[in-house]
Each structure stands twice: as C-alpha cells, then as structure tokens.
Structure 1
C-alpha cells in the first residue's frame, strides 16, 4: 500500500516541528519527528509503511483526509479473490451485449470470475445474448420484479467471495475490478464503489449527466462506517463481500429506487465500512431525453421519504458556525435589500474574524500568514453560502417559485442564489457544455427532484425529509 499527500495538503515546518495543512477546509495536524520524515518521503514519491506503527499513523492521516492511498493494481493472480458479476436485465438485449462485451475484456483471472445474468421477464432477445457470451442465465422468478429482486436472485447463485453489481446499460473498463478489489484487503470493508461516467457525449444533456448525475460521486476518495451521515454507494458500480450481503438479506426487494442507499446504510449500521474510489470506471447510458431525465430525477426524489422512515437517524446536517453564519446572513441581507451597508459589515466582520483566527493559529506555532487565513475563512463562508443555497433550491424551489409569483421582489435574491449555487457547481464539475444549457438543465433537475421529494413525503405521510439537524459548532 502506497500513501501520498492529498492534493491541497502541504507540509509546513518551524523550529518546533512539522504540520500538515489542508486548505479546503483549513485544518492542521501536528507531526512528530519520525512521522515528519515519513511525510517528507510521501511528498516526493509516495511511501509505504515500514512498521505496524507507521501503518496505523498513515491510516489515521488517511481517515482525516490528509493523505490518500494507492491500492496496488497489479498482483499475483492466485491472490485475487473470486468474483461473481451480477447483471439484472429486462428487455435490453442491445445494451446487455455491450455490457457483456466489456466484461470479456476485463483484466481479471478468468478462473476467478463468473458472470451471472438475471432475466426479469424479458420479451426480446435478452436471454439469447446472455447465452451467446457464456454467462450463467437465471430468471428472477417473475416479470418486472425489479432490479433489487433480480440482484438478490443472482447473488443466490453466486459462488464468488465478492459480488460485483453492474447494470445492463453500463459498460466496464478493463481495469474495473483490479482497480477496486484491493480495498477489500481491509477486513472491515463491506462494499466498494467506483467511478461512474457517462457513456455518450453527443447531446448537451449527455454532457450534463456525465458530471451531474447522482451516480457520479466525484474525484475524491471517501469512506463511511458508523455514523449518521448520508454517504452511500450506487448499485451500478458496486462490489460487496458476499458474506456481508448475505448477513443483511441483500437488497430490500420492495424498493424500486433507493435500494442501494438502503443497503449500504445497513452495511454501515452493521459495523462495516463502505469505500468510494475515483477509479474502477464504469460507463452508464444516462437518460438523454428531457422527459426521461426529469422522470428519473423525480423518482430519485420520491425515495427520500421512504428512506427517512427506514433510517430515521440519518438526517441532513449542516454546521452553522455563528460568525460565518452572520457573515453569510449580512451578505444575503445586502442582496435582498439592495443595500451596501450589510455588505460592508460582512466584509469588516470577515476581516476581523480572520485576524482573530490568525492570532489563535500563531499561538499554536503554526506558520500561516494572515492572507492564508483570510482566504480560508472566505472560502468557508462561501462554502456555507453554497450549501445553504443548495438546500433551499433542492427542497424548496417549488414553493419559492409560488412566492415569487405572489411577491415579485423576491425574484432578485432567488435568482442570485440560483446563479451562485449553479455557478459553483459549474466551476467544480466543469461540464463540457455552454453555461446557458447547464443552467437550463440545472433548473429542471431541482424542480423535478424537489417535486419527487414532496410527492414521496405525501405518500409516506411524513415530512421528516425536510428536517435538518443544525449544529452551531465553531470552526
């Protein structure tokens, strides 16, 4: 295992020793002399732990987000675990052919790999395609029972130590399994997910989906174990230990959306760890027609009420540090009232807050300039404004639109929030499409998803999905 310093993290040293500094968000960790020497090696070429103590220290830094791990992609064939690839499918003969063709090219020992196709009552040539490629073909036991039931059926026929779930409208890279399988060397890991990309790029909507789909979890490694956050892994690129899957009874078969969220949350509740790695690429055939795109976002939204009832402790959370919240509030007031006084007050408060933070940091002997601290506090305020604005758009855009119709003066601040939040996502995700197209799809997505959340809550008879746990913790 090779550890490297994560992008955005730097080494700082003074006469007392060394620190690792993360700029987004601003965090530091003090290093003792031996760990500082190890970190210096990591900065240039990566480092492998030479002892159990070093391994524990590096793992602790990885969990805190200061370093990242490079899992070995190449290893002895005899050391690979056996894998069963499970593909649920109904009436997708063409897509299944593409999927199975990609699996033929997998760089994985053939004697440790089996492919299982679960037919959910197809009326086209899907079964023949599965037989043509030599996959084990089983039936789901009905017609249209849904992907969750089909995956469970496939898992029942699997012999592999690891179950690798991929959807029939996906194709896998040759390195799909080899780039992800190493994460299971940690015995606590129950499930691993990889990068999901868009299969097509011809239309603007294809290019929007490639970076904005909820199946794409971004470019940073993440993990989750015990806790109440909402981190999960999507099932179109999901590897799980068969033993952990069986102990939980697999997917909840009654769920047609959100079944992957529910499964990975239950794995975490049972003491397992789930890991996302931005590699092990799978290409997904996203819905490229506007109606299908909005319908799918609406369906995703409907799952929130059901998932909240199944997992009542997993509420949305947002930290509102008092000073930063006041800065954001003053900025918002200045925009709503079109008044420069609150804006000036926000700037003054940010400057003084950064000065106090710089003084506290200097007392700890951490070599940071006032400018670096000011920039970090400014980013923290901007981040808080983004997340607050995103939550407003995601869940309250429909009632907000009604309020704007009744009170047109609200249109200017609402437009400012929309442009700010959408602009941040455009900058971070970097979609390959023009800004007007991005904002058009972005607006439709928020409307469709928010409508789905509302409808799902009405059906569940509970509006717990709209609750948010607010923390005033100071950062």
Structure 2
C-alpha cells in the first residue's frame, strides 16, 4: 500500500510562471494551463508563495499544488547516500568507465559488462575510491538488458543509472535524492551538459540544445508538458518501483527511456527534472555520428506510438488554434473573418472559465493570446522538424509555400536561439543551421520508423478541445 502523505518539513514553492488572483485564492498556470481554486484557509497557508508541510491539512494543500503543476518541490529531508547503488552498463568503453569511476568516490557501484570484447577489469589505484562490483555477460544483449540486470542485482532502496560517457558534477546525487522525500516520486533526472562545450561547433550546440538537454527550468516530467521525458543516460529511481513496472523494455532499440517515463506516469508516479543536478556528457566526435544519433532518436517514436496511443504525436495543439491558423493561413478575406470569429468565440469561452476573477475579459484575452501564439510556434516548428518532407514537397510546387517555409525556418530558429541562448553559446547563424540540420535528421528517422512499422500513429497530430 502506498502512503502518499508529504512529510513534515517538506516545502513547495509556487512556480514563477503561475499567476495569482483575488488574494491568492485563484492560481492560473501549469501545463496545460489550468485554473486552480483554493479555499481562503489554503490560500492563507501559502502566504508569499511558499508552503511548508506541518500537519495533515498543509500536506493536502501541498500535494494539490504539486499535482496541479503550479508548484515545485522544496524538500528538506535527504535519504542517505548509503541507500543508493550506481549502475553502469558498459560495452567496449574502458576509458570512459575509468573516467566515470574516478568521479564516483565513496559510492557503491555495479558495473554491468555487456559482452565487451575484453572483459572489464577494475584496476586498483588511488583514483578508484568506490566499492565496485563487476557483473560480466558473455553475450551482448543491449543497454536496456544490462540496466535491468544491474537493477535486479542491487539491494538498495534507490538506484542511479549512469552511462560510461558521462561524469557527474559535485553534489549531483544529493540534489536529486531529496526529491524522494515525496513518497510519490519514482524518478528524478539531472541536467545533462556537454563535457567540453568549447571543443567543437556541435559541442557548443549540444551544450544548450542537444537531445539530452532539457533546459534550465525545473519541471515535472509529463507527456505533452515542457519536459515530456528525460534520457536514461543519467537517472535516479526507486528500485522496487522500477522492478514493479518491469524495468526498461528490452525489445526497444530506441525510445526505451521515453517508454519508461510514460509507463511510470500512467501508473500514477511522479517524475521530476532537476537542473540544479548536473552531469557532463562526452561531446559528439563527428558530424556523421551526430547526425546518425539524431536519426536513431527519431526512429524510436513509431514504436512509442503503438505502445502509448496519442502520446507520441509530433504536434498537440487545441483544435481552436488549429482552425484559426488554417483560416488565417488561407490568406483570403473569408479566411481572415473566420479566423477572427474563432478567436472571439474562444475568448468568450475562456471568459466563462475565468468568470470568478477580477476583470475576466482581460485575463481571458491574455491566455488566449498566449495559447494561440504558442500553438502557432509549435506548428511552425513541426513544419521544419516532424513534417519537413511535406514542407519540402510543397516548396517544390508552390512559390508562395517556398517563401513562407524559408521565413518560418529562419524565424523559428532565431526564436529558439533566443530562448535557449547562454553565455558562450553559438551565434544565431550557426545555431539556426545546427537546429535545422538536427530537425532534418530527427524527421528522417521519424518517417523511416513509421514506414518500417507501416503505422502512421507517430505522424498524426492530436487536437484536444482545450
């Protein structure tokens, strides 16, 4: 039986993107956006935006805030580091393994040798100050099988998975481990950055926008949310929970980490992305391997579409956004009138949702504008990423589409650079080129994977009513 009460001392902080109204009794935010109504007593508990659990009532309010996505956890209790086993699956990477073990001082480590050509040997040296057990598998069975094998052999409450091509930074485990003071949390992932971000152009791009990177903001991990999944390159999990859910799917050549996140989410567990915990990942060695990795990432989406209906859709926007965009995109008078009427109808519907707030028309207009602009951005991005073959086909037959597609490709790339830019990151021109090249690779894998399975579920957008 699961006991989900948050412990005393646990805190929650209202997300800075959430807006409060009527003295804190109404909160608007989360993903997707929602209106959360609080009783006056509950609103008084939050005060300046922070709530500490001190009794059953405050525990219930804190849980509601977390589950609604309008607050982030601030745990104060820390499970012991002795309750963690680090599992490292390795195949023919002795240098990476040696580098990783030198950074894991004081930890209990299980190295799963997944059929390496030369069996793994852990040298006795001052650099290796962790307790290491090597489990040898004579035949290579894949990284998912290696992780599951190590998972079954571990005996601690928590398990951290680390690939041999990463190096965790100081404090990485402590920052993530605190989240497990929430009994509903089953998985936490760190921010993954380039190990040497200044070495190559691709390394600088991967440092801020790579496929392993999930951004600078802390977040819950949910399908169609800001962080829909986290990579299995570096994870911290509850061992018994993962065993109970069957571990990693060993039949999946790609996308197994996404499948794991969505299975845990569907089972009612909470997953967190914690950017304050940092792990460095080795840089891509060549353009060819980098491109091939992005293609492989795309091919894993089609199997996900079969396992998780509707969750692997490349584009999810409210139906009113899609209708308005198509009407305006017709570039006709009647299209402009129809698009305007669609937005007006949406405004009145949202006004009814926000009717209890002060000035509901203004609030409804703000969130309608944000929803429409966000949906348009996602559509533009999908034209360049998921649906680039369709866009290219249209460009070959229409001069108007050609001009529109080039404009969207540049504008979307510049907007993406502006959002994700950091000190020392790429200039806008090279960033946009890398972004478009990555999108072509991913889109190629997406269509190739769908063709191999003869299943278009991974290509169909979803149009929820809200």
TM-score of the superposed pair, with normalisation by structure 1: 0.83
Q: 1:462 aligns with which of 449, 455, 460?
A: 455
Structure 1 pair 25/419, CA: closer, same or farther in 2 (3 Å)? farther
Q: Name the residue aligned to 1:376.
A: 367
2:300 and 2:350 map into 1 onto residues whose CA distance is 44
> Counterparts of 1:279 and 1:158 in 2: how far apart (Å)?
26
* DSSP-derived class of the 1:252 partner: coil
Aligned to 1:107: none
CA contact (8 A) 1:328 1:346 kept: no
The residue aligned with 2:40 is 33
Cα deviation code 1:171-198 (max 9, x no counterpart): 1122121111122233333222222222
| Pairs within 5 Å for 1:32-431 | 32-42=39-49, 46-72=50-76, 75=78, 79=80, 82-104=83-105, 110=106, 113-123=107-117, 127-128=121-122, 133=128, 134-202=130-198, 203-218=200-215, 219-224=217-222, 231-312=228-309, 314-316=311-313, 318-322=316-320, 324-334=321-331, 356=348, 360=352, 363-367=355-359, 370=362, 373-431=364-422
Determine the C-alpha separation between the residues in 2 that align with 1:279 and 1:228. 19
| Partner Cα distance (1:24, 1:188) in 2 | 19
DSSP-derived class of the 1:318 partner: coil
Preserved CA contact (<8 Å) 2:192 2:278 = yes
Give 5+ residue unaligned stretches, structure 2: 1-9
Deviation at 1:41, TM superposition (A): 3.6
Q: Deviations over 1:247-293 (max 9, x none)?
A: 34422333332222223333334443333333322111242521111
Give unpaired runs (5+ residues) of structure 1.
105-109
Number of residue equivalences: 450
1:369–1:466 distance in 2 versus 1, CA, 3 Å: closer
Q: 1:155 and 1:356, CA in 2 relative to 1: closer, same or farther beyond 3 A?
A: closer
1:303–1:456: 8 Å Cα contact kept in structure 2? yes
- Counterpart-to-counterpart distance in 2, 1:130 and 1:376: 60
Note closer, same or farther for the CA distance 1:352–1:81 as it changes in structure 2 (3 Å cut): same
Give the distance between the partners of 1:215 and 1:346, measured in 2 at CA: 41
The CA distance in 2 between the partners of 1:217 and 1:256, in whole Å, is 22
Superposition deviation, residue 351 in structure 1: 8.4
CA deviation profile, 1:14-50 (whole Å, cap 9, x unmatched): 6xx84334499765433332222222243xxx33123
Please say if residues 230 and 315 of structure 1, whose CA atoms lie closer than 8 Å, have aligned partners that are also in contact: no
Cα distance change of structure 1 residues 401 and 10 upon mapping to structure 2, 3 Å threshold: closer
For the residue of structure 1 that corresponds to 2:248, the secondary structure is coil
Offset, 1:414: 1.2
Name the TM-score, length of structure 2 as normaliser: 0.85
Per-residue deviation at 1:363?
4.2
* Displacement after TM superposition at 1:321 (Å): 4.1
> Matched residues in 2 for 1:103 and 1:181: separation?
16
Q: In structure 1, the residue corresponding to 2:63 is in which secondary structure? A: helix
Superposed displacement of residue 418, structure 1: 1.8
Distance in structure 2 (CA, Å) of the matches to 1:140 and 1:463: 40
Structure 1 Cα separation of the partners of residues 225 and 339 of structure 2:
35
Work out whether residues 157 and 240 of structure 2, in 8 Å CA contact, stay in contact via their aligned partners in 1.
Answer: yes
SS state of the match for residue 112, structure 2?
strand
The answer on whether the counterparts of 2:197 and 2:283 sit within 8 Å (CA) in structure 1 is no
Offset of residue 300 of structure 1: 0.6
* Farther off after superposition, 80-89 or 344-353: 344-353
| Superposition RMSD in Å | 3.3
Residue of structure 1 in register with 2:429 after alignment: 436
SS at match of 1:214: coil
